[in-house]
């Protein structure tokens, strides 16, 4: 088995762990945006296991790559992968939305090691990432900034202001990954406010763009390790995904934007999905 196969296997295992953690954490808490977290499991696993330069023992390492989860409501997945790679003890996953002073609230906050920005109000992540990428250029640093954004979130005009500025400043160290699951809070994105032709929109703003299968680990790994696609241009990757991926009753269902399993449903699916939960300390 070659190194790439080993890497793909490790990423697949991490993504599976993300999905199990998300289901367990949200069921335990009785709350959470489960559908939006499940759709980005493969993306986050690939970034943290196979692409990004980070040091969990030194979360503020100046030369680290940065990840901004602009769609902060998908934080269940972020919490899982941060714990898997060692930013904090996995025992804290059980605190998700169950304590007033939890390090793992319903949207990510800077108080948790590995979180680079508070994100909850949508439409700010690309601008934050653009600022970080520009700072790297000004400081002569080589780190990259990855921003994971929802597709419905792109209906916010602030994203396109940031996109225009990023192209103007030639920020080829900025990579935006669009979680293109085609569903948002209340309906299909195209029924709320049409995004298509999305690839052409990004190109018109001066970005290099590629559309991929957001659940194909090999394609994710190859694409993300190939950025920037052009020197002097920021990169946009449109990752086509399935909302609720891995949980059949939730897949492609708009109502699972903010919905979790009941404890009864969890018990029914526990064996089928080989679900596991962390034991209380």
At 1 the pLDDT is 44
C-alpha span between 39 and 257 (Å, rounded): 11
Which helix or strand (DSSP H or E) is residue 167 part of? Answer: helix 157-168
Q: DSSP string of 64-127?
A: --EEEESSGGGHHHHHHHHHHHTSS-GGGGGGTTTSTT-SS-SS--TTSTT--S---STT-HHH
* 183, 189 contact by CB (below 8 A): yes
Q: Which CATH fold topology does 3-270 show?
A: Rossmann fold (3.40.50)
What does the domain layout of the chain look like in residue ranges?
3-270
Query: Half-sphere exposure of residue 200, counting CA atoms within 13 Å on the CB side?
Result: 3
pLDDT in tens, the chain (281 residues): 466 899 999 999 999 999 999 999 999 999 999 999 999 999 999 999 999 999 999 999 999 999 999 999 999 999 999 999 999 999 999 999 999 999 999 999 999 999 999 998 999 999 999 999 999 999 999 999 999 999 999 999 999 999 999 999 999 999 999 999 999 999 999 999 999 999 999 999 999 999 999 999 999 999 999 999 999 999 999 999 999 999 999 999 999 999 999 999 999 999 988 988 776 54
* 122, 150 contact by CB (below 8 A): yes
Q: Residue 179, SS3?
A: strand
And the tokens for 11?
């990423």
Q: For the sheet with 66-69, list strands across it.
A: 66-69, 145-150, 174-180, 235-240, 208-213
């Amino acid at each position: 088995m070659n190194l790439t196969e080993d890497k793909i296997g490790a990423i697949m295992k991490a993504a599976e762990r993300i999905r199990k953690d998300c289901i367990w954490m949200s069921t335990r808490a009785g709350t959470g945006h489960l559908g939006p977290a499940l759709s980005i499991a493969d993306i986050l696993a690939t970034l943290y296991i196979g692409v990004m330069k980070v040091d969990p023992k030194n979360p503020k390492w100046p030369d680290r790559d940065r990840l901004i989860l602009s769609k902060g409501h998908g934080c269940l997945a972020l919490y899982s992968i941060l714990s898997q790679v060692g930013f904090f003890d996995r025992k804290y996953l059980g605190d998700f939305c169950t304590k007033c002073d939890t390090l793992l609230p319903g949207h990510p906050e800077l108080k948790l090691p590995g979180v680079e920005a508070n994100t909850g109000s949508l439409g700010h992540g690309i601008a934050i990432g653009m600022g970080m990428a520009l700072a790297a250029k000004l400081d002569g640093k080589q780190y990259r900034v990855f921003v994971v954004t929802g597709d419905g979130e792109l209906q916010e005009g602030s994203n396109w202001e940031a996109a225009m500025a990023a192209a103007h400043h030639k920020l080829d160290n900025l990579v935006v990954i669009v979680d293109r699951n085609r569903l948002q809070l209340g309906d299909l994105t195209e029924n709320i406010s049409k995004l298509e032709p999305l690839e052409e929109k990004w190109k018109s703003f001066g970005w290099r763009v590629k559309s991929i299968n957001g659940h194909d680990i090999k394609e994710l790994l190859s694409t993300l390790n190939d950025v920037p696609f052009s020197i002097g241009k920021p990169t946009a990757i449109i990752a086509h995904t399935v909302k609720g991926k891995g949980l059949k009753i939730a897949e492609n269902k708009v109502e699972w934007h903010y919905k979790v399993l009941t404890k009864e449903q969890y018990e029914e699916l526990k064996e089928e999905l080989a679900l596991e939960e962390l034991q209380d300390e």
